[in-house]
Structure 1
Amino acid sequence: MTLAERVSSSVRCWSRRGVWACRRGVSAVEFALIAPLLMVLFMGAVDISRAVTAANRAGYVADSIGELVSQATTTLTEAQISGIIQSAPLIDADILAYGRQIGSTNLPALVNLTISSVRFSKTDATCVANCIYLASTVFSRALAGSVRPCGLLLTAPDSAATTPATLPASTFGPVSLVVVDVAVFFQPIFLKGFPFPGTFRRSSYFRPRQVTQVNAATNCPGS
């Protein structure tokens, strides 16, 4: 473009009609600059929403199954325990929806679920008030992963993450417990390099409603 053409173009740009053309050009440049950021924000919002849903899903499944097991009136057979564990996708269909998103139909790859019965005993059998209790596993079954070991369980602060060998201090008391531990796996669709948690863990604790202690066909020795 010659000097004269450049001057002519500038004059047209500053003419009444040309100002709008220039503004449209500036707007196009601005949009081109911010469009990638908007796209990243949109994709991030989608994955963050999915992560929140996964965390809520873990808590919902843990509470629902804990409530179900706590109403047992008789000894649970192995088939009944297995059926309850396998019912997780029926309790929350989003588990399978997540599986479709990541291309997996393998339930243990979508959620881990452990059902345990825990009994408490006094450290001093003669104690009648402000007693100290020990916790031990009655039985523990899992869809996949670790079960709670037979024997004594350790006390952990309520704020600490629960492990298969521990229980929160506030759960210790004179009545047995049904404990359901759920781990829901999460994989982002868009922001794969972003440090999202890969697993959301939740536990529920219910007192048995109909029996003193929920038992399985095969309990831990001494339970």
Structure 2
Amino acid sequence: MAARPILTPLPAAQPDPAAEGSPARPGAARLQVVRAFLGTRVEGFRAAEGAMAAVEFALILPTLLLIMFASIQIVAYIDATRKVELVAHSISQMVSQAVPPKNTTVALVNATDVHFSYDSTLVLFPYAMKDAKRRGVAWWQTISINYAAIQFTAKNATCQSNTNTSSDLSACYDANVVWTSTGTHQPASGDNYRPCDTAQLPANDNAPPTRTTLPRSAFGPGSLVAIDVVFEFEPTFGSGFVPPVRIARSAYVQPRYASLVSYDTTNNDGIANKCTGY
């Protein structure tokens, strides 16, 4: 049997790199151009986003500043309201605690007492000093604090014998001013002190305080000390657009140790005046 010749396989045909690469080069170049173009567009889009954010911030910033400054002024106004109430109640307590001389029921305060309690405002309400400096005036020109003692007189014997103080006694008593302050500064809106020879009329308890009225519930036997405080709150920001806001608070307190707190005119410097007949 004849032996078969061993056949050696021919090598497979190898692709020509030059022939294969020639059509691929233009596609790669186009891909690089597209990538570069997209990159440029993305960078431009990012820059556009930054510019839009800047425009939005510029539009919103004035509103944010307005809200911030308005909030600061509202807080300052609320604090001033509370301090004006504190001034009225604290001074009324100082005056109402005057002790009468031995074997008498009428206590006396003088000009020194009034000045001392008036000057306590700088401790109770230090904003008044700061506000006065900003306005370029004395501190006592920015706030009005007025003193008055009121005495109630029964209109008839029936009213005098009525011991039921829980009911409305405003129709049964006359309220007259015993003494009133006259030397304290009054606000530009008008006189705030309670004048002599002007009867005090009853008003609803929730009515705004005025110079000629008292709360209906305050009428009854005895007397009381009335302290009226008025402060013109002027905003720090936007004062040219927002008018001053009038804060008026009053305190009505019965004397603690006396039937009446009267005024001693000895060495009086004009800060208060005693009414005729008292």
Give me the TM-score of the superposition, normalised by structure 2: 0.69
Q: 1:99 aligns with which of 129, 132, 145?
A: 132
- 2:185 counterpart residue number: 144
State the Cα distance separating 1:190 from its structure 2 match.
1.3
Q: Is the CA contact 1:54–1:185 (under 8 Å) kept in the aligned structure 2?
A: no
Give me the TM-score of the superposition, normalised by structure 1: 0.85
Deviation track 1:92-137 (CA, whole Å, cap 9, x = no partner) reads 222212223x243412321100011111111113332255111111
Any unmatched runs of 5+ in structure 1?
A: 1-9
Tell me whether 1:38 sits opposite 2:93 in the alignment. Answer: no
SS at match of 1:221: coil
- 2:20 counterpart residue number: none
SS at match of 1:215: strand
Amino acid at match of 2:228: D
State the Cα distance separating 1:14 from its structure 2 match.
4.7
Any unmatched runs of 5+ in structure 2?
A: 1-36, 100-106, 266-273
- 1:156 counterpart residue number: 203
In the alignment, the residues of structure 2 paired with residue 12 and residue 133 of structure 1 have an alpha-carbon distance, to the nearest angstrom, of: 92
In the alignment, the residues of structure 1 paired with residue 205 and residue 89 of structure 2 have an alpha-carbon distance, to the nearest angstrom, of: 18
In the alignment, the residues of structure 2 paired with residue 182 and residue 71 of structure 1 have an alpha-carbon distance, to the nearest angstrom, of: 19
Higher-Rg member (1/2): 2
State the Cα distance separating 1:19 from its structure 2 match.
3.9
Q: Is the CA contact 2:84–2:125 (under 8 Å) kept in the aligned structure 1?
A: no
> In percent, how many aligned pairs have the same letter?
31
- 1:211 counterpart residue number: 258
**C-alpha spacing 1:215/1:32, structure 2 compared with 1 (3 Å):** same
More off after superposition, 83-92 vs 56-65: 83-92
Task: Figure out how many residues of one structure are paired with residues of the other and give that number.
Answer: 212
**CA RMSD, 1 decimal:** 2.2
- 2:148 counterpart residue number: 116
In the alignment, the residues of structure 2 paired with residue 38 and residue 159 of structure 1 have an alpha-carbon distance, to the nearest angstrom, of: 37
SS at match of 1:167: strand
State the Cα distance separating 1:60 from its structure 2 match.
0.9
- 2:33 counterpart residue number: none
Amino acid at match of 1:121: T
